[in-house]
A and B are shown apart, each in its own frame.
Chain A
Amino acid sequence: MVKLIQLIRQYWNVILFVLLELICFRLIVKSNSMQGSDLINSSNALAGFFYEKQNDVVTYFQLRTVNKELLAENARLHNELSGFQYFDTLQNVSAKVPLVVYDTVKARKDSALAVNDSTQSAKPTIVQELRPFGNPKIVGYASYTYIAARVINNSVVNDRNNYITINRGAADGIRKDMAVVSSEGIVGRVADVSNHYATIISVLSSRNISTQIAGGNIGVTSWSNNSPDFVMMSQVDIRTKVRKGDTAYTTSYSVYPENVPVGTVVAIDTYKVNNSLNLKLRLSNNFRNLKYVYVVKDNLGTERKDLEKAAAAKEKAAMDAVHKK
């Protein structure tokens, strides 16, 4: 026993070293798991506070470029809106306001009833006067809500996962796994949320995104070549006609809203082995220079997730039944 204690005393430093390294490796493995949710991240109040104070100083010098970018985005949105002005926007609009149509038939019936009913005055209400086309009826709600946030910390230097910290958190309605886009293109998804800050795992990390090229050909995009400007889109069908300069967009299979730009094609490789194309994309976002982003709240996301989960469970049950037989 004495010898054991002596041995421990003699190698105490080595034991401590090994112990601390083991704790570190445990933390590294935990932070790399898909669940995220590690204790040590910059969405906590302390780190967020310092980053926000630093950013308050720095943003001041960027106001001119921020203004320019916002103007450009505004012009683009105006252009898009003008295209929708005289068409049926019910099918593919995505906005915050409820979509409303006016039920003219019901309005006529209502007014007829009002005239017949002697107890009520025949005079139409102010609301009806204001809405000459009948009673409003909500057809559907837009499925996405956008929450604007300022980037207070950003990193492009890590080789596996890069994180962005923003100054909006759970108090502003941000939840884990929401998609994040900017005016230029995709940014990432929310990894950890505190009350007033959130960290985003950016596109520059080891997670795949489902993307499509013109004509609806789908591929998988991932960040692999360690440059903050490029991503690789793989598993594209070899018969796809692609040219340099074509733009890739997100699909509805991804966590992002559909048709958000990802990047433009700069190089095309053909892989005869598995009959596919590998496209090198230049990211449409400049990740060194992110200032403002939008967190996308998918209003139908939970419903979709639940449905997919239920379907998967049903499938699994059916498979189990087959195996039992």
Chain B
Amino acid sequence: MKGSDVTVSGISKSFGAFKALKGVSLEIKKGEFFSLLGPSGCGKTTLLRVIAGFEEPDSGIVGIDGRDVSGLPPDKRRCNTVFQSYALFPHLTVFENVAFPLRLKRLPNRLVRELVMKHLSLVQLEGHAEKRPSMLSGGQKQRVAIARALINEPSVLLLDEPLSALDAKLRQRMLVELDSIHDKVGITFIYVTHDQQEALSVSDRIAVMDQGLVLQIGSPQQIYENPASDFVARFIGETNIFAGVVASREGPFATVECEGLGPLLVEANGEAPLGARVSVAVRPEKIRIAAESPGARPELNVLSGVVEEPIYSGFQTKYIIHLAGGGSVTVFRQHANWSEGVPDLKWKDEVYLSWSARDSVVVESDAVANDEVVNGAARPPAP
């Protein structure tokens, strides 16, 4: 691996009375595609700026390859940044933008040309070298910014919401391209985003942040399947959360007594002592919806309810089901075997919901969220 590992330990940073980072620690491995994910104002961009050297932390240490770089100015760190606004120099051509770091080093013209053309071809912009940034589309500007950030051969590339200014289709394409650039150059990428879909699809690991703290670090699968808290579960994708008390433990499973809903069988990773108040999370796509009861089976949770709102969106239908025991649940239903499966479910139809105990997990309950989830209502963040 050509990249560096990045260690962040105990970083705190305040802007006036606002605490942007409250003691953040991370270990990012060599060559990893690491995402900092969180809502706006969670501190992810501040953390990136601390790593880049634009912000001096109030306390804590940034290490690159085991060397403490705290206090070094940005031009002395072997990391380069792709800015959210691209930050291309408007007075220079595409070629000179990419050549900027080389001109500072006074490299001979021939070498500059060779390196710049190599990097422009990496981002497929060979034909645009003599254009001004103002003549480029958003996606092309983004590519120039990436080529410029890579030409110094940094060992860490910092990307600050690089795709947020692009439209949805282009964002998908650029994401795939970023991933392939990461594979080609093999250096460490630290990617800041508020878009959980982006983070899930390209990252090796993700750190979910909120209010200046890291809530969970893990692979996309770990974050999605085993969210550490209510907040993570809600922020990453849609989810249903039920509040309850652990009534019994049995091997990997726990029975959680939920108000109004009765007992639910849940997978618990040893963190659910008897009598503890916990939240249970179930992803909407893991719940089966049917007009008839699937019958009682071990390891299967069954609830009944009424369709409150079917929302058809082509590749799937999203149902909001009002539960018999109170509260509501979101369910996704894919359209494979659409005709032979259950008939089209309509408003006010009575339905049965079922899911395997293994598909529901106990998450650590955030104190704040408790009141909201008592009725089992799922309030996922807007996608």
Are chains A and B native binding partners rather than an unrelated pairing?
A: no
